[in-house]
Structure 1
Amino acid sequence: MSTAATVRTQVSSVPSAAAPGAQVLPAWPLLAWLYGFPVYWATGLSLFVPIVFGSLMAAFLLLRGRLRATPGVLVWGAFLAWVVVCAVSLTGVMQAIGFFQRTIDLFAVGIAFLYYVNARERITPGRVFGGLAVIWLTVVVLGTLAVFFPDVRIATPLAQVLPGSLMGNELVRELVYPRLAEVQQPWGAEEPFVRPAAPFPYTNSWGMAYALLTPVMALIWTRLRRRGLRVLLAAALLGSLYPAAQTSNRGMFIALGVFLVFMCFRFFAGGMARAGFAMLGSLAAGIAILAGFGVFAAIAGRQEYSDTTTGRSTIYQATIERVLESPLVGWATPAMDASIGISLGTQGYAWTLMFCYGFVGLLLFLVFLIRIITVSWKVRSGAAYVMQGLIVTVGVTIWFYGLAVTQCLILLLAAAILSRASADGEKVFPRV
């Protein structure tokens, strides 16, 4: 039995039944979104998955009625309402298309949060962790292939039927003709930098997904009872360091470092000194492994030819100046700055929120993260700490890294697990 299959068989130790007269929500819409991830990538359907499964879950929720809202649901709802208000800043059809796609994604992951909260009879934390394991395995396998076959692009079935007008959009083209790696050779570099990207269009998205999902896999490893599965998963975790190292991705390693530091603090503050020292050991070992792989040298070498830090500071300054012209509702979508040559409202999800939805949108998003952390603080278990660590990691890294829909889904599901656990006294992840 695979690791993902083993994990999804876990059941909550707290029994629950549907409210009298209420329809039991089926598990398959949310689980199909997670477990089908590699299929959607290979077929080019990733762009449509959020709207399809978001709509299905919304329909089941409406049919059920009598919905419950655990902590965080209303804050995310307020954030979505403000996103809709910000449509007043739209000025053209192409802007509206981009705005609509981002809004659909935000609504879809919000519906996934609400669905998990209301589907306790069928969807346990373990089934969600199993789906996240599938995504992680997809990321690692494709990332490894990218190192050896960096120039490969996949012609998906959807690419054969899409009209040429849609194929002109860069993001659509990257999704239906996905590449395995970003191959970059800045001026002056002797050799190109091969950086894994698949199953995402860009390396930074790969790094963010890896940083969020690897702690989940480590958590799964601690919960497995079968020795054979523990050995296989340990080997996979060690093997995943190879494509991760090849990314020379500063943000990804910062994210993992933030997570480990938070876990150290959480364990020591919770009186779990042994686990805290284990985290400190993991942090030290991680630094040593990265140094041994030459990751720090690779990052420094890439910076010699591509100083993105200085470029980002210029973009951030220009972004703030534009947001101050429309501080409440922002500009709805990122906008190209001809003097810089890069779209403002990119280079970090916090800046996207600020530019597109104003300071109010950014504030509501941050309030959501804080609400989840504060309400779940008294849930004392290693699994809960891992979920909290993911929330904190996102709160730090959105200032320099973006969140695509898959990363947003991981975030919202971690929040939903904590929210339901804090409301119902449910164990976050018993041993399986």
Structure 2
Amino acid sequence: MTVTPLRALRPPLPAPATAPAVRRSGALRPGWPLVWMLVGFPLWWVLGISSFVGHVFAVVMVLEMVRMRRLRVPRGTGTWLLFLLWVVAGVIVLQVVAPHTVPETSMGRYLSWAYRFGWYASATVVLVYIGAVREHLTTTRIARAGAAMFLTIVAGGWLGILLPQLAFPSVLEMALPRGLTQVQFIEFLVHPEVVQDYAQAVTSHPRPSAPFSYANIWGLNFACFLPFFLHAWFGPDAGWRRRLALPVLALATVPGVLSLNRGMWIAVVAMAATVALRSAAHGRLRSVVALAAAVTVLAGVVLFSPLGALVQSRFDNPTSNDGRATLATLTVESVVEGSPVIGFGSTRDAVSSFYSIAGGTSPSCPLCTPPALGTQGQVWLVVYSQGVVGLVFYLSFLGLWLLRGLRLPSRTATLGVCVLVAQAVTLPFYDSIGISTVAALIAVGLIWRADDERRRAASRLRPDDEYTLGGYVGLVRRHALLLVLASVAGLGGGVAYQLAQGPQSVATVSIVVPRESELADVGREATLDTLAQLARDTQVTTAMAAAAEHPIDPDDLYVSADPNSRILNLRYAGSEPGAALAAIDAAGDTVLRLRGALLEDERKDAVAQFDARYTSGIAAISTVDGSLDQLKDAGDRTTLRVLDETRGVLLDKAGRAAGQGARAAVMPLEAGTVVRPPSVSVSRDAMVVSAGTGLFAGLLVGLLLARVRGLVGARIARVRDLSGAAEVPLLATLPDRSVTADGRTYVDHELAWAAAVDAVRLHSPATVLAVGEDPRALLVAELLDGYAHQNRRRESVHRLGSDDDVIVVATSSTRLGRLRRRVARLRRSNLDVVGVVLLQRRRPGWGARVRAAITPNRKELQWSPFPPKK
């Protein structure tokens, strides 16, 4: 009798995937890359590699995990991977000119994109690494490494306070060519700074930023790593650290206040409130009282010290609020108008400052250039770089784990929740790119651990609850054709939509507007902002529509100006090059004509004002003359001298007014001059955006379909590796026609039935159940269940299972998803599914079908070149 060999059964609880056992000690024990990344941050700062140290250690972590066969990932990782996919999508539109931005291209955008994507990818590797080496990289080790990072931040803050003038080149900066280090972005990466903008700090006070480049980044990391310090230095495993925790916390307060980071202050308050509410909800009233006392003492020390006045002054003078609000508004408008689905990949420079259309950096105002669109807040960076869809992916992943962590009572979960709360409240204020991104993903990993521990303690952690990195890779591999077809369809749809819209022809014209010196004396000089409003007059769009021979919306005419100049730029995008060129030419002519008419009106008003000045001056002179005539006989020479001097002054003013009026009446008034003649070029930006949007939208739809198909599953007959796909071993295979409706088995299938019965008895006593309502599957399950309980002699049967063993019977037409859901429900009921018996139905191939169709009519289809015999 032949017995089907059994595969090794999976344990009821998942064993974490670890690397092959390697004896290590000291600094290189498992988990050392993450610890070194955080603990050695001062060294990386001096070396000049702190801005991309995460990229370096992520490579090391990947090399360690390559040897691991199974890499677990937390729930929702697919959403985060979709966010990374959307970051990759941004490469397509990096050179697209976005609305409300400077119309230029820059190869440096690829460098900034790679920098940000590197940090996102590095944080993802850290998250997977935390799950891969969880036995070695304990929560205590992670918390202590994060506490060391917090101490580095505090030390950098004190360094900025005590030595704000400190400046030195990093080791990497000295090694790189000078021409490369003079690039602003490269200097930002490799040049150490202890305060932000020392030149401005000299006149006020320094804002510490070491070991980062900006004070806001310093404040964000201060808030993100503070929970690690509190967990490691105040927790039960603190040891000698607990005695020094309060003094260190007091020292950290000074740079925390002097940094003037209101977002960081709000984050600290939010984290304290979160801890208090969690402690109260879980009945830890002593923790609530201790926290309230600590916060009260700390607030008292700050308020009744010189730091209190600084805090009050900061809140009383919110100088950056209006600028941030305007920047956020322009950011959202630009991405919604230009590329709402995939964004623009990176930030863009704003076309003008917030206070003037021609504003910009100048010697008198070195800080007048506004920040780039997509900065001053992680939410604005993500929505501008990855679009609205990318922002949904980003917030969904972090929000999912924040909500999951709020339901967990453990201290580990509290640590992770506090970090995510700090990230959440600072989303509108700080850019979370760098080591703070790693802190956020570490927090997710810690909440993931706490959730697994809770489920393991409740005996609810089963193998079917595992999410693995290979599972996502397998999903893509199994449905590669579907994804390719969906992507191609989306790409074709985007291209077809843009072709239906027609090519976009961008026409531009630039006008220089001179100053009106004579008219300016009476306050009539116009700024470029008033001229920009003149360009939006309905007469301009009417003239454009007449020239282009189709309606034109006023918003289609884009008005900008060169910084710190009198040059006004008009830009219009149309479908036909000739029509666009005619429209922009008409716009320029109409603006000049309107400007000329306005100047004539202003000339009349100015002449009238000069005449009024002359008339009032002559009247005043006449009055003085009358007074002089009356006082001549009195002989008061002093009064006469004063009146005579007054008459001279009035006469001079009247003469000047008369001269100005005469010059204003005849002076030539130039409305403006075209310095850049009308030109038109075909823009491919709209096609690039439409094609990229269609491509990745189609890919997203394909992934959703693949996921749904994976849940439903293909028919088992089309699954090559049933054991691997269903995560349960295949015990035996029976032909579909091996049993009749009355339960009798065919003799020619006796060997297959013997193998199935032996496999079932090997796990006896086991319960045999059918998947679905197929009559043959129900009949086979009933027969095999009878065989399983027919012989209960333990001495003759080697039992591998237990009394809770279950064997399921499925047919080749059963959907894989249905089989997996059935197995999952049984396992959630604490039943061990030990195998599957497959009732296989052989479908004839195309050749057999053709032969079967031909066979009944073989004589009719036969043909011969010889005539039949009579």
> Where on the TM-score scale, by shorter chain, does this alignment land: which range?
0.7 to 0.9
Alpha-carbon distance change, 165 to 331 in structure 1, aligned in 2, over 3 angstroms:
farther
1:145 maps to 2:128: no
Structure with the bigger RCO (C-alpha within 8 Å, sep 6+) is 1
What per-residue deviation string (whole Å, max 9, x for no partner) do you get for residues 176-227 of structure 1? 33121124676xx994221111000011111111112223212222225676
2:226 partner amino acid: T
1:235 match: 247
1:216 maps to 2:220: no
1:120 match: 134
Q: Secondary structure at the match of 1:180?
A: coil
1:202 partner amino acid: Y
CA–CA separation in structure 2 for the residues paired with 1:213 and 1:242 = 17
Deviation at 1:330, TM superposition (A): 0.7
Deviation at 1:260, TM superposition (A): 0.9
Deviation at 1:299, TM superposition (A): 4.2
CA–CA separation in structure 2 for the residues paired with 1:418 and 1:162 = 41
| 8 Å contact kept, 1:45–1:158 | yes
1:59 maps to 2:50: no
Deviation at 1:374, TM superposition (A): 2.8
| 8 Å contact kept, 1:150–1:182 | no
5 Å matches for 1:241-320? 241-301=253-313, 307-320=319-332
1:344 match: 373
CA–CA separation in structure 1 for the residues paired with 2:309 and 2:253 = 16
What per-residue deviation string (whole Å, max 9, x for no partner) do you get for residues 361-413 of structure 1? 11111111121123333421234223212212211111111213111111111
1:7 match: none
Of the structure 1 ranges 330-339 and 175-184, higher mean CA displacement relative to structure 2 is found in: 175-184
Q: Secondary structure at the match of 1:343?
A: coil
1:394 partner amino acid: Q
Of the structure 1 ranges 383-392 and 135-144, higher mean CA displacement relative to structure 2 is found in: 383-392
| 8 Å contact kept, 1:180–1:198 | yes
1:233 partner amino acid: A
Alpha-carbon distance change, 96 to 38 in structure 1, aligned in 2, over 3 angstroms:
same
1:73 partner amino acid: T
CA–CA separation in structure 1 for the residues paired with 2:41 and 2:226 = 17
What per-residue deviation string (whole Å, max 9, x for no partner) do you get for residues 85-112 of structure 1? 2222111421111111110110001110
Deviation at 1:290, TM superposition (A): 2.6
1:374 partner amino acid: L
2:404 match: 375
5 Å matches for 1:124-203? 124-183=138-197, 191-203=203-215
| 8 Å contact kept, 1:31–1:131 | yes
Deviation at 1:323, TM superposition (A): 1.4
Q: Secondary structure at the match of 2:310?
A: helix
Deviation at 1:76, TM superposition (A): 1.9
| 8 Å contact kept, 1:263–1:386 | no
Residue-pair matches, total: 411
Match of 1:105 among 97, 108, 119: 119
CA–CA separation in structure 1 for the residues paired with 2:452 and 2:84 = 23
Alpha-carbon distance change, 356 to 165 in structure 1, aligned in 2, over 3 angstroms:
farther
What TM-score, normalized to structure 2? 0.45
| 8 Å contact kept, 2:79–2:396 | yes
1:243 partner amino acid: P
Q: Give ranges in structure 1 of 5+ residues lacking alignment.
A: 1-14, 428-432
1:415 match: 444
| 8 Å contact kept, 2:196–2:206 | yes
1:9 match: none
Deviation at 1:16, TM superposition (A): 9.8
2:334 match: 322
**Greater helix proportion:** 1
CA–CA separation in structure 1 for the residues paired with 2:383 and 2:297 = 37
What TM-score, normalized to structure 1? 0.87
Alpha-carbon distance change, 363 to 289 in structure 1, aligned in 2, over 3 angstroms:
farther
Percentage of matched positions with identical amino acids: 28
Q: Give ranges in structure 2 of 5+ residues lacking alignment.
A: 1-12, 23-28, 96-105, 354-369, 457-870
CA–CA separation in structure 2 for the residues paired with 1:347 and 1:38 = 26
CA–CA separation in structure 1 for the residues paired with 2:18 and 2:232 = 34
Of the structure 1 ranges 338-347 and 283-292, higher mean CA displacement relative to structure 2 is found in: 283-292
Match of 1:388 among 417, 424, 433: 417
CA–CA separation in structure 1 for the residues paired with 2:346 and 2:35 = 31
Q: Compare CA radii of gyration and give the structure with the larger one.
A: 2
CA–CA separation in structure 1 for the residues paired with 2:240 and 2:445 = 31
